[in-house]
Copies of this chain bind each other. A is one copy, B any other.
């Protein structure tokens, strides 16, 4: 048996990081520095496509979106940014600062609209307000991994829309897998974190429950999502 590492991963809830979608290097850098000075972490995407990719990847709390980008108007991707399920907020930053522009931005889905140039303090204050609101949401509710949806509060699981009824133990197991996608999880880890055991019960409880979970997750002929790593443990691999 391997050592029982305890790796704490974050859930897929809307986080407190910010994604900056901005083609101009200078502006992007400045935004990043302003936020960093306020203790707000950020990543940067230089194009709309990259922005969409990053947003789909990590659950940001807020996205700062430029309007005039090489790929088109930032407003165009707001619907897709929304579609990711995380309750991410979108703030548009733009040199187009007239009222009609602002109204257009807000009507097309932005949560806030700040005209350039702006005071760094106001950006920080508005970003904080947005992150605060996002964090206050019961937002940690839905976790999506591939075609699997986990409703934490309701403690239900759906795969491709089909409801998968799980027992409490199975749900806990599912959640632990979901918290560690792509990682090999040894039986010891599972026993510790799902069964709260710090010793080996000398039985195959884990195997049996993994089997039951598999059966239920694949009951309608869906592809497998839990792979056996022979001699080691199991890996949860959500199908993209």
Where the two chains meet, the residues of A that have a C-beta atom closer than 8 Å to any C-beta of B are 87, 89, 99-100, 102-103, 105-107, 109-112, 119, 121-122, 124-126, 128-130, 132-133, 136-139, 141, 151, 153-155
Contacts and interface: CB of A to CB of B under 8 A. Distances in A.
A89 B130 CA distance: 11
A98 to B, nearest CB: 9
A141 B137 CA distance: 10
Contacts of A130: 111
Contact of A125 (B106, B129, B139, B141): B106
Nearest to A102: B122
Majority DSSP secondary structure for residues of A touching B? helix
A124 B104 CA distance: 11
Given A137-B138, A141-B153, A153-B154, A102 B129 contact: no
11 contacts: A87-B136, A100-B121, A103-B125, A105-B125, A107-B128, A107-B129, A111-B133, A137-B137, A137-B138, A138-B153, A154-B155
Nearest to A137: B137
Given A112-B112, A126-B106, A128-B107, A133 B99 contact: no
Q: How many copies does the complex hold?
A: 2
Contact of A103 (B89, B105, B106, B122): B122
B128 A99 contact: no
B137 A111 contact: no
Contacts of A100: 121
A39 to B, nearest CB: 13
A128 to B, nearest CB: 7
B141 A138 contact: yes
Contacts of A155: 154
A36 B125 CA distance: 30
Contact of A99 (B105, B122, B137, B139): B122
Contacts of A141: 138, 153
A153 to B, nearest CB: 4
A237 to B, nearest CB: 28
A112 B129 contact: yes
A136 B155 CA distance: 20
